[in-house]
Amino acid sequence: MDFALSEDQLLLEETLRSFLADRVPIERVRELREKACPNDRALWSALAELGITGILVPEAQGGSGLALLDAALVSQALGHAVTPTPFLASAVMVPTALAAAGGGASESWLAGIAGGELVFGVAVTELFSVREGAGVSLEAGALHGKAMMAIDACGADLLLVAVDEDTLCVVKTDSTGLEMTRLTTVDATRCTAEVLFDGATPEAVFEGVGSGIARMLDAGRIALAADILGACEAMVEQAVAYAKQRKQFDRVIGSFQAVKHMCSEMIAEVEPGRSLLWYAAHSFDALPEEAPLMACHVLAHTSEIAREIASVSTQVHGGIGWTDEQNLHFWFKRIGNARHLLGGPEALRQRAAELQGFAATA
């Protein structure tokens, strides 16, 4: 049995990484971070032409209808290039939820996502982590409350909101009764927002879609783990490249055993993570009964190894590793922010224990 990527998947990965290196170099990322929303709609349209925005959208709605493993490879490439895009929400989580919800409106929105005309954000944090009295309710056909850490919400056209574990709503971001404020986080390449609802009327309400919501979270966690792994790859590559050219005492620092060990240990952390990611993404479509557990494991694991890789790769660069001019901090901060977007490692391991019946009971 061949456990490697297919030729088509390798081509997808190579094509996208080449495209991102050309269209979104780090200089462009620096420009985008200064904007109110770093998600560039022109770049999103270009990704749509490559079929990226509709990678999980069924062919009937103009998408590619590919598997989550293909979407994970895309997410990994975006993380490697530290690209600001709404891919996680708009191309992974929302299509997964809308496909499960069904209906004419869902099909229209899926077609808009595939064509690059529509961008969605998602407000689902309260499903697994409630803070500051947040929470959204649906009363008499209108939304009320507060959603925290809404992913990719700034600059989006529509917002997918989880009212509870069984109900989703789609609301326009310019609706009366909706106020959005971009949250300041360490990561300038990803938009998260606080959304206040005061009687906003949703475009659609989907009830009884608990299984679709669960699948959406699983898909999002796997894709986010891929983004983190891509960022890890980039940091290791930069550390190794720097170690090969930086000299001390007339020797490149990569010749010192301590630095060799630092680089080799980072690589040793990345490779098992890659295997775990491939299996988790594969399980989403081929072994759906395993997907909830694997989604928790892969995001918890990559979040943990990424924190160490981010720290060590910065140390290899010495003092300049902590400066803005060096660029390494873009990946460092992306990893740090991603660690908490869809549940931290502790919460994910608790969820994994519950799924396996290992959690302690009162």
DSSP codes joined into one string, 205-222: EEES-HHHHHHHHHHHHH
What is the pLDDT at residue 111? Answer: 97
What is the pLDDT at residue 17? Answer: 97
pLDDT tens digits for range 317-331: 998 988 998 999 999
Q: Which amino acid is at 136?
A: V
Residues of the chain with pLDDT under 50: none
Q: Report d(CA 201, CA 357) in Å as an integer.
A: 40
What is the pLDDT at residue 362? Answer: 52
Per-domain residue ranges for the chain?
Answer: 7-118, 121-208, 211-356
Which CATH architecture group holds 7-118? Orthogonal Bundle (1.10)
Indicate the fold that domain 211-356 takes in CATH.
Butyryl-CoA Dehydrogenase, subunit A; domain 3 (1.20.140)
Give the whole-number percent of the chain exceeding pLDDT 90: 89
Q: Which of 167, 175, 174 is nearest to 199 (CA)?
A: 175
Q: Report d(CA 176, CA 178) in Å as an integer.
A: 6
What is the pLDDT at residue 1? Answer: 54
CATH number assigned to the domain covering 121-208: 2.40.110.10
